[in-house]
A and B are shown apart, each in its own frame.
Chain A
């Protein structure tokens, strides 16, 4: 699974991880990822929303309309049980992969 689409999978993983803190709207997710990576990852809106919709279709996240902090109508996404499972699986794979890569990089 992870082998097929690393790019897509990684983005999904980041979004799922971000949502563990609670329901968020799309803009907040983008901000959060940007802030937590110290602006290293600037999420394209063109990538973010397709990913959100895709994951919603897969059932990893769910959405509903709510009120934003400035009292505007916004769509909030939250993690579902399958999403959580998916996140765990991906994190584990990610961690073991990055550890493996780090070992090589350190010895070099």
Chain B
């Protein structure tokens, strides 16, 4: 008892006295060496000779003292350095193995780095404004219309600004387009109209010049703040431009400020507020008394300590006030909805990113299992080495730690490579990212990403290293040392390897199902018709501003005639709101004839003004009646064409032809109401989303609603891109003050609309392919190992009369059993998880029998392929060879 206590004390004592322990050991060795040397001198050797032989005899003094230090408990750091050095040596000895493992980890960590970079930039990184968590959007929920995220009127903005307490301030924004003119080529830009306080609410100051103030609202010239980009590009970065006027289509702008280089606005995709606004100017004062035009997006800043909930409470009382002030809001039973800006910006991309992050996590897990498996196999061949270390005085704990360190070392190398792969992957992601992800702004490798990679690498190292550590802990090392080189494996080690592989297959199956469902969705998306034919169509935008409606319409007509005369052009048309374009939507209520007064304003439709040629040029399908003609003039009777969605909602079971309804028209710069007759019905054209059903649409002849903003649609027999130069030339010939923008084939808009689905499908496909390959390699490894192990048994079987086919079957069955077990777990996991995918899918149910069967067959095939070689090898072996060994 006493001795035991003393030993314990010694242990504790020496832990704290590393230096003295070391000195003691060295003194002891020095004494030993001296004694030995004098022994040799006594036997007749020279002093030098004696010293040399004694030293040699001592063996490696260093090694002995290392062992001594270990036993006497050296410091942790000391041993760690030793272990790492030892680990590096061990891995360098087996470069091929190290490279294989590092490559696998590279794939896993690379995939995660890329996805995490996106997740971090989009979901986790705060918006680049001061105290971004205090910024919130205030949406109008027009309940009867069914427009939960509607913009507000100017009058409402004024009321809210005046009455807010919990909100520090509330600003408004609307984005349209304008054209910079002057000596240079005219350039169409996105122009934001904002309230004076917009930048102060956002917390952004111009880097040059000043912010808007109240005087700017009443100044003769309109004040403008320019984005840094257009300032550098169009005005050569000239600082003296501040205070000067620049010419534009609607008269001159006085430049009062330039925004900082890194400024970008981040609003949600459905807000129609893009991030690349080039010019900022103020709302006209009259806007703040307008209580009938709903178009202003509201951005509020909460007081420092205020919560979103408190903001919502204030908005509720604000809504009550607005309902009491404005009859339209009362009719709509207006509610105001406060949503944190960041949350709103990412809300539509978040589910996809979460799913992808989860998928990348699964890939990493599969990589870890695969590496664990390889490390297990390697540990088997290293048993003698490990056992020797134990005999030489290393504790089991230290051996375990050594294995762990090697696993971590290799995973850190994989992590370093993965960082590179992640960087490359990120470049790919940026290329295929959907528009909604483009809004989150800069996505790059942040220091946070580096921390992530380090943590993931070490975590993977720990996870993968666990398998060999558990195994060596369980087995009898000394026993294996005695077996003089014959590698021994109990059934337990193989069981662990099988378990790992089955888990790999199960996880891989989950990924396969996920990717299968996404790919099926993408295929479905490709098969559905958007309601028009996007092939062979060129589109571009111009903004013929500053004219009377009639003049503008005449100009458009003239230009269309010129385009139509170009070789190869089949049809030409123009529309105010091109499908899938990001220009602010035009949607308003309408009322069919004969509807009671209190039922009015409950129906909402997307309005589009089109020239007569549009429907034909875009390839719309006319279901009933006629298209517009050149006879539908401003002065003639008001007519509309409606789509089938709108017709079915409004007049279910009846023909819409000849029906009359109260609509909104846009004439000479203002919206007016008019009664119009339905002259045609077209098939619905998808305009906002390919996935979700859209609102009904009302088409108005351009003559009767000449919006300033117009997209042209040119259908040709050949490649639409070839026409680009000619349409530009024709425009210049007609009017060289007009700018042409967004020149692109219509196909691009459709591709953009498929963006999110394609994005997820591509990534999920990569993950699934990766996991299938890894699982196949894993099965191959386990089966060929087990065949090697069972050589003797197989030899006996063959000697006893089993045929090659029998052996082949036995081995294949072994692999197949793994696959079936993994599949069973994988199917269960997929069934319970695929519900989370439901929102991302299109035209396919989360539990899709076809996807499940195809993927199950794919996994089984992969397992068979993996077993084929080892099985053949086993079957081809001569039984006597196996028995003799």
Contacts and interface: CB of A to CB of B under 8 A. Distances in A.
Given A5-B391, A53-B68, A59-B6, A26 B63 contact: no
B391 A27 contact: no
A53 B3 contact: no
Contacts of A82: 3-4
Q: Name, among A4, A49, A54, A56, the residue most crowded by chain B CB atoms within 10 Å (CB to CB).
A: A49
Interface stretch (A13-21, A68-76, A87-95, A96-104): A68-76
A62 B479 CA distance: 30
A83 B71 CA distance: 18
B807 to A, nearest CB: 38
Contacts, number: 83
B58 A57 contact: no
Interface string B68-87: 10011000000000000000
A74 B57 CA distance: 20
A54 B64 CA distance: 13
A8 interface: yes
Interface in A30-44: 30, 44
Interface stretch (B28-36, B378-386, B730-738, B869-877): B28-36
A22 interface: no
B392 interface: yes
B3 A49 contact: no
A8 B390 CA distance: 10
Contacts of B52: none
B290 interface: no
Interface in A64-86: 68, 72-75, 80-83
Contact of B31 (A4, A7, A30, A68): A68
B709 to A, nearest CB: 86
A44 to B, nearest CB: 6
Contacts of A73: 27, 31
A88 B64 CA distance: 29
Nearest to B59: A46
B478 interface: yes
Contacts of A59: 3-4, 6-7
Given A46-B64, A49-B67, A57-B71, A27 B35 contact: yes
Interface in B40-94: 57-60, 63-64, 67-68, 71-72
A46 B3 contact: no
Given A26-B32, A56-B7, A57-B11, A50 B71 contact: yes
Nearest to A61: B3
B391 A8 contact: yes
A36 to B, nearest CB: 16
Given A8-B391, A53-B71, A72 B34 contact: yes
Q: What's the interface size class on B, roughly?
A: 20 to 34
A44 B64 CA distance: 10
Contact of A49 (B60, B64, B391): B64
Nearest to B32: A27
Given A26-B28, A26-B32, A50 B64 contact: yes
B71 A46 contact: no
A89 to B, nearest CB: 16
A25 B63 contact: no
B22 to A, nearest CB: 13
A75 B476 CA distance: 35
A72 B476 CA distance: 44
A46 B36 CA distance: 14
Interface residues of A, number: 30
B393 interface: yes
Contacts of B479: 4
Nearest to A80: B3
A27 B31 contact: yes
B829 interface: no
A79 B393 CA distance: 21
Contacts of B476: 4
A54 B393 contact: yes
Contacts of A68: 31, 35
A54 B390 CA distance: 12
Contacts of B2: 81
B6 to A, nearest CB: 7
Contacts of A58: 7
A27 B36 contact: yes
Contacts of A7: 391
Nearest to B11: A57
A45 B476 CA distance: 27
B707 to A, nearest CB: 90
Given A5-B391, A7-B391, A72-B34, A57 B7 contact: yes
Nearest to A4: B478
B870 to A, nearest CB: 35
B369 to A, nearest CB: 33
B27 A50 contact: no
A55 to B, nearest CB: 10
A2 to B, nearest CB: 12
Nearest to A25: B31
B435 interface: no
A72 B11 CA distance: 26
Contacts of B59: 44-46
Contacts of A80: 3
B73 to A, nearest CB: 9
Contacts of B168: none
B848 interface: no
Contacts of A46: 58-60, 63-64, 67
A40 to B, nearest CB: 17
A60 B64 CA distance: 21
Contacts of A56: 7, 10
B24 interface: yes
Given A56-B10, A59-B7, A49 B68 contact: yes
Contacts of B393: 50, 53-54
Nearest to A28: B35
A75 B24 contact: yes
Contacts of A44: 59
B249 to A, nearest CB: 90
B497 to A, nearest CB: 26
Contacts of A53: 67-68, 71-72, 393
A53 B69 CA distance: 9
Given A26-B28, A27-B31, A74-B31, A45 B64 contact: yes
A45 B58 contact: yes
Interface string B458-488: 0000000000000000001011000000000
B15 to A, nearest CB: 12
A30 B67 CA distance: 18
A56 B28 CA distance: 15
Interface string B374-418: 000000000000000001110000000000000000000000000
Contacts of B67: 46, 49-50, 53
Contacts of B71: 50, 53-54, 57
25 contacts: A4-B478, A25-B28, A25-B32, A26-B31, A26-B32, A27-B35, A45-B29, A46-B63, A46-B64, A46-B67, A49-B64, A53-B68, A53-B393, A54-B71, A56-B7, A56-B10, A57-B11, A57-B71, A58-B7, A59-B4, A62-B3, A72-B34, A74-B31, A75-B31, A80-B3
Given A45-B64, A54-B71, A73-B27, 7 more contacts: A26-B32, A27-B36, A45-B32, A46-B58, A46-B67, A62-B6, A73-B31
Interface of A: 4-5, 7-8, 25-27, 30, 44-46, 49-50, 53-54, 56-60, 62, 68, 72-75, 80-83
What are the nearest 8 A-B pairs in CB distance?
A46-B59, A53-B71, A59-B7, A59-B3, A50-B393, A27-B35, A80-B3, A50-B67
Interface of B: 2-4, 6-7, 10-11, 24-25, 27-29, 31-32, 34-36, 57-60, 63-64, 67-68, 71-72, 391-393, 476, 478-479
